[in-house]
Structures are given as C-alpha cells and as structure tokens.
Amino acid sequence: MRKLWTALREFFRKGDLLLLFICVLTSVFGIVVIASATRYMGSSRQVLTQSAALMIGIVVFVAVSLVDVELLAEYRLFLMAFNYLFVLLLLFFGKSRGNNRAWLSVPGLPFDVQPAEICKITFIIVLAKTMSIYQNQVSSLRSVGSIGLQTAIMAGLILVISKDMGSALVYVFIFLLMAYLGGIRGWWFLGGAAAVAAVGPYAWKHVLREDQIERIMMIFDPTIDPTGQGVRWDTNRSINMISGGGIAGQGLFRGALTQNGAIDAQHTDFIFSTIGEELGILGCILTMLLLTAIIARCIHTGLKTPNYMNRLICFGVAAMLAFQILINTGMCIGVMPVIGLTLPFISYGGSSLITLFLAMGVVSSIHMRPDPESASPYVQAKY
C-alpha cells in the first residue's frame, strides 16, 4: 500500500496532469453528445458503457504514466508478436458489424475489444524503437525495410482479416509521418509512391470491396448514386445535420434529425454531425479546439525530450489522432470517403477510449522522464 501511495505521489508530482485534464474534459463532452445522439433509442447503455470506459481509461493513464517507456520498448520483438497474434485472433473469434470483422468479445467487459485500436500504441512503440536502433543509419535499406515490412504486415492483416480500410490507413499514415520526422530521406518516399502506383491497380481490383470503391469514387464522380439513396445516404444526411445547426445549433437533445435517429452511426462515425446540428458551428469549433489541444500537448512533450525514440513516439501518437480527426470530420462534411473512423475521445467506443487514454499515458510517461537522468536505473546505464 505504501508503494502504491508513493507511486501516486510521483504521478501527481511529475505526470502530465494538464494532458489528463484535457482528455477527461473532452471525453465528458463526448459522453454528453453520445447521450443526446442515442436518446431516440430509449436506452442509456451507450452512456453507461462510455462512462465506465472513461473511469478505466483514467486508471490506465495513471498506471502507464508510471511505467518507463524505454523499459517497455526493450521487449520490441514481444510487442511485434503481440500485434500480429492479436489481429489474427479475429480469424477465429472475430465479431462482424456490417462488412467489418474487427471486434472480439471479452468476458466481463461491457464492450467489445477492437485489436486494431489497441495495437496502434504498441505499433508506434515498436516502430520508434526500431528506428532508434538504426538512428545513425535510419535511411539505410535495413532500417527502412524493417519498419516498412512491419507496417505492411499490420496494415495487410487488418485489411484482409477485418476488411477495415480505415484502420489500415491509420497505420500507414503513422508510418509515413514517423518516417519523415525520423529523418528518412525523401527519395525513399518517392520510391514508395512509385511502388504504390505499380501495385495500386491490383489492390483496387482484387482487395477493396465494391462498396469501398464506391465510397471513394463518389467524392469525385457525382454520377455514382445520383439519387442519394445508396452510398451517399449517410453523407447527405450528415451534411443536412451540420448545415441545419447554423451558428449556435438547435440545442442539446433538440436536433430535429438527431432525435429521430437520422443516421445509425450518429453516435460513432458521424458524431461530428450530431455536434453540428445541436451545437452548431460554435460546438464544432469547441470540439476541434479540444482535440487540437491534445495533439499540441503530445507534440510539445515530443519536442521537449532529447530522446530520439521518445520523441518519435509522441509524434506517432499525434499523427494517429490528427489522421483520425481529419478523416472523420471530412467524412461528415462529404470531402472524405466514409471508411469507418471514429472521432477520438468523442465517438462512442469503449475499447477505443481506453486505448486513447493508454496512448496519452505513454506520452505522460515521457513527460515524467524528459531526459536520461530521470529514466529508470536500467535505462540510465545505457547512456
């Protein structure tokens, strides 16, 4: 008990309390919006589940903050194996929703677990550790080949097993931004673009489903679903919800379309539309300010640490958040394809929220140990 109290005092003395406060504030705001978006269902299950996930998330944030990320990264090979095996479990025990087989049921938990969400954090740590091993030759074939292969395996497994294009793209974006900020030379990116152009037609024809292709092409081709009753249905409803909110919105629990359940996913993928209708442009701005503050805090922590690996981890977490926010809000206003990415900290999803707090806990851990002298004795011995 004394050790626990000592650890908690250490957290409150050195942990990133500002980051925790912003994350909790954003999550509470999300729970309020979820309550409004699900009111038409006549059940409070989603609100209770998200509230329970928030409580668990806070505990996870504190616990992970107390763990030295350098020690965790030493088990890089174990983390890699964990990522692959966790996703492979979906082959045997995965639950499908719509066209995606992306969830696992865990006895005792009030929500399903999405392996692709949890593995994002371990993937970022593995990528950062691998790049730190080759730090002085980060642009070498061995370095780029290693992190590129890891990314290809993870994104490929998720795309083939889960059919979840959105999550697969998040992994690719994390890889690209970490590679760029990690110092990998530009000609590697040109080579990668050429490779994608070469294999792209095959993937377009044989990997993507027809509905996924239509969702991408409808942004550029108005002749796809001209009546708006097919793949454009959710997007059109979403745009109507946001435009109907005006400056200040129609009021919480008062949105005409929201309270009629205009979109099935208005508490998940299209929660930004609910915010737009009920809280207006001001609510959308508030949402973006809260999320931007979280990203800025991650970047600030990364810039403050002289440790190459830890800096990349912070940037990787920021990249994950930024990409999901960009795609989700773009989906809601019709400028991005609908690929099933939720809005971080706002959308309903227990495993997603806990994973986000886990990621923030990793950033807080780095915040607690900004230099080698503040690391664990084992890590100090390496410097």
pLDDT tens digits for range 5-35: 787 888 888 889 999 999 999 999 999 999 9
- Report yes or no on 248 lying in a domain: yes
- Report yes or no on 7 lying in a domain: no
Residue 160 backbone dihedrals phi, psi, to 5 degrees: -75, -45
Handedness of CA 319, 321, 327, 333 (dihedral sign): negative
Structure tokens at 90: 């979906």
- How far is 279 from 194, CA to CA, in rounded Å? 44
pLDDT tens digits for range 166-197: 889 999 999 999 999 998 988 888 888 888 77
- Report yes or no on 291 lying in a domain: yes
SS (H, E, C) 77-90: HHHHHHHHHHHHHH
- Report yes or no on 10 lying in a domain: no
pLDDT value of position 381? 41
Give the chain's mean pLDDT: 86
Structural domain boundaries enclosing 32: 16-380
pLDDT tens digits for range 317-342: 999 999 999 999 998 988 888 887 89
- Report yes or no on 5 lying in a domain: no
Q: How many domains does the chain have?
A: 1
Structure tokens at 109: 């938990």
- Report yes or no on 11 lying in a domain: no
Radius of gyration of the chain (CA): 21
- Give 375's pLDDT tier (boundaries 50, 70, 90): very low
Nearest residue to 294 via CA among 1, 11, 22? 22
- Report yes or no on 57 lying in a domain: yes
Handedness of CA 56, 25, 117, 310 (dihedral sign): negative
Q: Which CA distances in Å does 366 have to 15, 357, 360, 374?
A: 9, 14, 10, 10
pLDDT value of position 93? 84
What percentage of the chain carries pLDDT values higher than 90? 50
- Report yes or no on 374 lying in a domain: yes
Query: What's the whole-model pTM score?
Result: 0.90
